A and B are shown apart, each in its own frame.
Chain A
Amino acid sequence: MRKLLHNRGFLPGFGMTMGYTIIYLSLLVLIPLSVLFLKATTMSWEQFVGTILDSRVLASIRVSIVSSFFAACVNAVFGVLVAWVLARYQFFGKRIIDGIVDLPFALPTAVGGIALTSIYAENGWVGQYLAEWGIKVAYTPLGIWVALTFIGLPFVVRTVQPVLQDWDLQMEEAAATLGATRWTTFTRVILPHLLPAVITGFALAFARALGEYGSVVFISGNMPLKTEIVPLLIMTKLEQFDYAGATAIATVMLVASFIMLLIINYLQWRINKFDAAR
């Protein structure tokens, strides 16, 4: 016991901060989520399965996961690019660009959704040129993907940027003196270092995209079986006073999110092996 007390360090307040953490997490996260589960248990197992296996629900889950996944993938690649430019180069207007990256965080997502819709609609600025090529963005799954990419952008940039800023340039120089080409240096020295941050950013962007509602409802057109996302379906069920049905879908999403977080944590742990001893 003495030893335990000793290990807590010089600053007091372990009891207070720990207690606060538990209360905070309980009130804001654990209790609401358990209520969700409880509500779902008011249904019988057959009802539950029936709700979930409804073709409209399955289609919306598919749309949500597929578009979120691809949006996060695009963000993983272009987020690294943006972070690279911001961290490694000095140029005029850098601070402005740095600020713009955060806009999707700050903007009410509905505003983003309306803006994107007006630009990508068939008579919009960009939409009219794309329409000539026969590409329709607004009111298609492509539109959902655009909206989700928009809201996910800051995550990868903001997780990768600090890693790049702390980057030791001498490692690149060492690689060069050992005869590595620029491309080899990037793929074998720089990228492995960025990977944990990229995966974290990817996970955050993906999770955020799964829950996104505001921006998507404007651009997707919300056609059942085609462009209907899960959060919207939950909303629809609630409007029809089908609370149990809504919570059933929510429960599935909750479990899916949890499994995804576990997988990503496992990946992180695998990749971070080399840092474990630090």
Chain B
Amino acid sequence: MSIEVDNISKSYKNFTALKNVSLQIPEGELVALLGPSGSGKTTLLRLIAGLEQPEEGRILFNGEDNTNRDVRERRVGFVFQHYALFRHMNIFDNIAFGLTVRSRKTRPNKEEIREKVHSLLKLVQLEGLAHRYPSQLSGGQRQRVALARALAVEPKFLLLDEPFGALDTKVRQELRRWLRHLHGKLGLTILFVTHDQEEAMELADQVVVMNEGKVEQVGSPEEIYHHPANPFVYSFLGRVNLFRGRVHEGKIKLGEAEFETEWENKAVELPAVGYMRPHDVEVSLHAPADSSIQAVQAQVSRISLLGPIVRLDLKRLDTNEVFEAEMSRQRFAELALVENGTVYVTLNNLSFYVEEGQSVTPAPTFIPLQVSV
């Protein structure tokens, strides 16, 4: 079932959690709500579930307005970060809960409930644990029980709040793979909250990046990683280098490096920031033969060997800016780099942003600059 969030706002006492958020989630997709803590992602999830009421805006399921519908009637599957299993019930009763609380008319009979629970136990690979209590299970197992419990009521879609947040890395990776598999099998719309960008990139078809109660960007993992809409998204997804400079008369100057740009407002001089991923930084021992390639000298201040890749901490000799470069182990061996050695660094694949009119809007808006070289 598709979910539409239409212009939702929500605030608590003196804190605005969401500001005019709109979002479309197509049927059958696995969507991640990604953002730092306090970005409003969990609030949005709880609003969709009906656990909170918005001040403004509407929430539609398959085009049908559900804004004023009670949680109990929305039939959404919600999985809590800390599972919220019923501790005094065994696994069977936990999973059966959503069925056994129905009114007598709509409640399936005992045999049907038993069958349903056992098929769900099979689905979450916990057969044989029906009579255990939640306290006797591991974190990963509890999480799967919580999922089975949510699935038992045949929800329209699944909402997962930091589903793997409380688990250790290995279990988390296993569960991710399993959730992906489950999504493929059930074809259910799944919306999950995470602050882990790797998790979002690995699992989701669509990633919704949120910050300070607003949606910053919506797109496939590929899109948001390679075409971030603004500096926030750029720096939130993976490591990033910042080069500060100025834009003036159609040129962006970052220390000794210069870039042509088509920026229309040529008269004004403004601060500009160039963003670059460490793996895009090209390191060589000699200055490039082609003088149109922008290259600067830098000193290697530290070398970290990180398994398959090598990370260099570098310092620009012209501006003293510190940045990082990543390369394969093979390339590192070819260059035979040593600490405190000097190298040439090619600045390509930079994304530039200019801060516009700080006095006009409280939060700076950023304009991406096109480099014309």
Contacts and interface: CB of A to CB of B under 8 A. Distances in A.
A168 B153 CA distance: 22
Contacts of A177: 49-51, 71-72, 74, 76-78, 150
B101 A179 contact: yes
B153 A173 contact: no
A181 B72 contact: yes
B236 interface: no
Contacts of B75: 179
A178 B98 contact: yes
B150 A275 contact: no
Given A173-B80, A174-B80, A274-B135, A179 B88 contact: no
A277 interface: yes
A274 B88 contact: yes
Interface residues of A, number: 22
Nearest to B74: A177
A181 B101 contact: yes
Interface in A3-28: none
Interface of A: prevailing SS: helix
A100 B213 CA distance: 44
Contacts of B97: 175, 178, 180, 188
A50 interface: no
B255 to A, nearest CB: 52
Given A171-B84, A173-B78, A277-B136, A178 B51 contact: no
A192 B78 CA distance: 23
Interface string A154-188: 00000000000000101101111111110010001
A275 B51 contact: no
B161 to A, nearest CB: 9
B163 to A, nearest CB: 14
A256 interface: no
B48 to A, nearest CB: 11
11 contacts: A171-B86, A173-B78, A174-B146, A174-B149, A177-B49, A177-B74, A179-B73, A179-B101, A193-B87, A274-B90, A277-B135
Interface of B: 49-51, 71-78, 80, 82, 84-90, 97-98, 101-102, 133-136, 146, 149-150, 152-153
Return the 9 tightest CB-CB contacts between A and B, nearest first.
Answer: A178-B98, A170-B84, A174-B84, A180-B101, A177-B78, A277-B136, A274-B133, A192-B88, A176-B71
Interface of A: 168, 170-171, 173-181, 184, 188-189, 192-193, 273-275, 277-278
